[in-house]
Amino acid sequence: MAGDHVEVHVVESKGVWDDKIQSAKNQGKIIVVDFTATWCGPCRVMSPIFVELSKKYTNLIFLKVDVDEVADVTSEWDIRAMPTFLFIKDGKQIDKIVGANKEELDKKVQQYASLVTA
């Protein structure tokens, strides 16, 4: 990967997921998760938008979960459609967007970023 700063962390296992959730809790940070799939057209459209948001709002933690690769996390959070974007604070879901809605995602990321200090 290019650069030292990774904006979007790809979650490849339940263990990595649990570590990220715990780390965010410890730091008092909000997580934004993109539940995606390689075969999902709308997911591919939203992916670069998600990356751009992660660069702009560095006080949030951005995670990407492939629903086919990390099925246990997908089922644990009851993800039924892709893309689904979850907002998580203190290990609990505080908001959710289902579908490729760029305006809604932008608005909610901005809203939650304003609640967290860098």
Predicted pLDDT of residue 6: 64
How much is the pTM? 0.93
For residue 104 the two structure tokens come to 């809604």
User: CA 43, 22, 20 angle in degrees (round to 5)?
Assistant: 30
The residue ranges of the chain whose pLDDT is under 50 are 1-4
- Is 68 a residue of the active site? no
Predicted pLDDT of residue 4: 42
| Catalytic option among 21, 24, 33, 40 | 40
Predicted pLDDT of residue 106: 97
The answer to whether position 3 is within a domain reads no
Predicted pLDDT of residue 116: 75
- Is 40 a residue of the active site? yes
How far, in Å, CA of 106 to CA of 87, rounded? 12
**Structural domain for 52, as ranges:** 8-113
The answer to whether position 118 is within a domain reads no
| Catalytic option among 21, 43, 63, 82 | 43
How many structural domains comprise the chain?
A: 1
The answer to whether position 1 is within a domain reads no
Predicted pLDDT of residue 23: 96
Predicted pLDDT of residue 118: 56
Predicted pLDDT of residue 81: 96
The answer to whether position 49 is within a domain reads yes
Tell me, what CATH number does 58's domain have?
3.40.30.10
DSSP strands (E only) in the chain: 8-11, 30-36, 61-66, 84-89, 92-98
